[in-house]
A and B are shown apart, each in its own frame.
Chain A
Amino acid sequence: MNLLHKLAEKPWLAQTEGGDAALLEDSGPRLPAKTALKFFIAVVSVIFFLFTITFLSRSQYPDFQALAGEPWLPLSNTGQLWFNSALLVLASAGLELARRQAGRQPLGAVVLALGAAAVCSVGFVIGQYLVWLQLSDRGYTVSANPANSYFYLLTAIHALHLLGGLFALTRLIYRFAERPNLASLQQNIGLCALYWHYLLLLWLFLFALLVAPAETYRAIAAFCGL
């Protein structure tokens, strides 16, 4: 039963002896954590959407100097960022593997995949920090240019969300070690995998945004009427 159909119900007419059992048969997702996570992902998406809008708007001011697009600009060499991205891809893949294996015995592969995902995620955060150090060493400090400010800001907020996910993942591993519960493990790994996939897609979007040349910003801003 779709939402519009539900909203068209006439509840003053529907009085059934069985407590509307027929409607219950059509019940939707039964995992509240998954519903909550989807809403949380929506909230995070709004945050980054708004950052992006302000970024595009700010990029049209004369003092904004894009971080890539010319050979002498700091992010024209994106090697370190690609390496970091690969780590996040591995983390995401590790969690996906763990999700698929979680229902099967033995659990050795699951533990290995979870561990690898956690290590790769930590590696990603450290890699991002190294990029920060490289930038600031070359004089591209947070206040030197609005493009730099956005780079530090967006990567920091993204990394914070990843660290939040790592906290949840560590807690999951700890609780499983303490009280093994296969059903719970499977569900929770599924949630972690969903969150990591989302953070990976988000990072790829931010990566593309932050290393785009000034002409791209101009084109997008013109398209959006900014």
Chain B
Amino acid sequence: MTDSAIADLPDDSHHPTSFVSKYIWSQDHKVIAIQYAATAIFVGLVALVLSGMMRLQLGFPDQFAFIDPSAYLQFVTMHGMIMVIYLLTALLLGGFGNYLIPLMLGARDMVFPYLNMLSYWTYLLSVIVLLASFFVPGGATGAGWTLYPPQAILPGTPGNDVGILMMLISLAIFIVAFTMGGLNYVTTILQARAKGMTLMRMPLSIWGIFIASILGLLAFPALLVSAIMMLMDRLAGTSFFMPALLSLGEQMEYGGGSPVLFQHLFWFFGHPEVYIVALPAFGMVSDVIATHARKNIFGYRMRVWAIVAIGGLSFVVWAHHMYVSGMNPYFGFFFATTTLIIAVPTALKVYNWVLTLWRGNIHMTVPMMFAIGFIFTFTHGGLTGLFLGNVVVDLPLSDTYFVVGHFHMVMGVSPIMVLFAAIYHWFPKITGRFLDSGMGKLHFWITFLGTYSIYLPMHYLGFLGVPRRYFAMGPTEFIPESAQSLNAGITVSALIVGLAQLIFIVNLIWSTFKGKRAGDNPWEATTLEWQTATTPPGHGNWGAELPVVYRWAYDYSVPGVKADFIPQNCPPSAVEMAAAEGGELDDNKGPYNEPTA
């Protein structure tokens, strides 16, 4: 379904003519990507500060007057929601999706540039509404990021008055923004690929973004439906989710609703959301690993099938988040089984990353370090997921820190490691300059070791039975005092890791203006985005002629070929053979341009 006519849109109606149209109301996918990324990183830093404040209370209870139980719950809620939705989803799909799709596919832009612009501004509106909820009477909602009714809208829960309304409205706006973006991503991938770019020649980054976008389009409606129905319960007095109940001694007017119905809807969105975040990360890390190991990706076809299989299976595992809510035992058996089945294609991807590294010409660049770090954290988080996927193991562990450790490793740290790998990898294309590798390596080691020192002990705390979500432990005799020491240690690590992100921010700012110039293809990569005539690519990406694609995205270290990479747009007749010139294969040829500290 490649369509060069659409990829080569002659319509230049959105060509920027002023500063405002170039950088503010821009319809250029690259500018929109940067707008998405900057907003997501900003709001992510807010969520990082919130987590630091949570940790202060947990590590050093009651030492800080500004953290009372209500504030603590608000921090927990906003931290979770911001990180999952407004940072990870927005940065991976809105940021990298926008930047990479047209460039990697050889298109001039997204097929609907105006809709793309609208998507960003709607996203920004959702962020503003969300952050504004901190400043309304009663503050932001403290219902927990899952927003379970009935407590989310009942008196006694922080932000039950206005905060929860703003959260639900913000989510609805975000979903509208995502739908506009998602339709654009999917349509561009299906209809705007350059000549020769068949589906199976697409880089894995695009496959990940493609399937994640479809998942988002089909899963976010569940969150929208639950948000609308809860808004009606809160505003119009309906009883979709609200049962008959007493609140603060008074009989409420609600009656007959089902809170578990909300949970089903929420997790019908919530579990695919894990893969909406994970699949683009899987794809991008695959491209980073292949490039920096100078080796074709192991098992490309199988990886594509695995991405598709994971996408399909992600819709039939949602209730493993609800074992403690109570369900028919056969129901639990079904969801435990599907959960274990989805581990198969996921494990297959891990094996393939390792086998790509096997006997590769590995260059320990900063992107590669983050990519290898990701393999560790993801394997770790995935294995603990196998524990929690089983009903009998999940029941005692579900409300403990084991779960916090698990999902932060698999859903928090792992995608963040990929995001860092991706930023260090693609920054030279975005700005024309390298990020400083000295600061990058320092950033990596503190982040990688630091996150382990945060989340590994949490698994142990979970086994001890330390409950999650609690503001203070109180007289819990079964928990030894040493658990508190461990909590203090975790807090110190968390603060160090949090502060270490400043190194990254400084690096971003410094390198944007002062970083070493990178040239067009500093990593000697094969994919199309590195083959643009100018770096950063200009408006329309490709100059007069669109690229033509002759091969897949992973022709690294091809036997008999002089260079250790062949770009996707290099015709077979232009490939220089080593034997023809009497030269030898240069195994060590690779990205040596990276600056050192």
Write the residues of chain A forming the contact surface with B, with a CB cutoff of 8 angstroms.
6-12, 14-21, 23-24, 27-30, 32-33, 35-36, 39-40, 42-43, 46-47, 50-51, 54, 57-58, 61-64, 142-143, 146, 149, 153, 157
Contacts and interface: CB of A to CB of B under 8 A. Distances in A.
Contacts of B168: none
Interface string B227-252: 01100100011111000000000000
A14 B305 CA distance: 19
Interface in B243-278: 253, 255-258, 261, 265, 268
A7 B305 contact: yes
Give the residue among A33, A54, A61, A64 with the most B Cβ atoms within 10 A: A54
Interface size, B (range): 35 or more
Given A14-B201, A16-B550, A57-B261, 6 more contacts: A29-B1, A30-B6, A35-B186, A39-B182, A61-B258, A149-B232
Interface in B182-212: 182-184, 186-188, 190-192, 195-196, 198-201
A43 B179 contact: yes
B268 A17 contact: no
B480 interface: no
Contacts of B238: 142-143, 146, 149, 153
Interface string B278-315: 00000000000000000010001100110010000000
A30 B3 contact: yes
Nearest to A62: B256
A7 B200 contact: yes
B550 A17 contact: yes
A61 B256 contact: yes
Contact of B572 (A9, A15, A149): A15
A47 B225 contact: yes
Contacts, number: 160
Contacts of A62: 256
Interface in B147-188: 179, 182-184, 186-188
A27 B228 contact: no
Given A30-B191, A146-B238, A17 B232 contact: no
B2 interface: yes
Interface of B: 1-6, 111-112, 179, 182-184, 186-188, 190-192, 195-196, 198-201, 217-218, 221-222, 224-225, 228-229, 232, 236-240, 253, 255-258, 261, 265, 268, 296, 300-301, 304-305, 308, 548-552, 554-555, 571-573
A12 B548 contact: no
Contacts of A11: 198, 200-201, 300-301, 551-552
Given A9-B198, A17-B550, A32-B187, A142 B236 contact: yes
Given A11-B201, A17-B571, A47-B225, A27 B3 contact: yes
A9 B199 CA distance: 9
Contacts of B551: 11, 14-15
B386 to A, nearest CB: 28
Contact of B224 (A14, A35, A47): A47
Give chain B's interface secondary structure class: helix
Nearest to B6: A32
Contacts of B184: 36
A54 B229 contact: yes
A50 B268 contact: yes
A58 B221 contact: no
A15 B191 contact: no
B240 A20 contact: no
Contact of B225 (A19, A50, A142): A50
Contacts of B111: 32, 36
12 contacts: A19-B195, A19-B549, A23-B196, A27-B1, A32-B111, A42-B218, A43-B221, A142-B232, A142-B238, A143-B237, A143-B238, A149-B239
A222 to B, nearest CB: 15
A57 B182 CA distance: 30
Contacts of B229: 54, 153
Contacts of A20: 195-196, 198, 549-550
A182 to B, nearest CB: 17
A19 B550 contact: yes
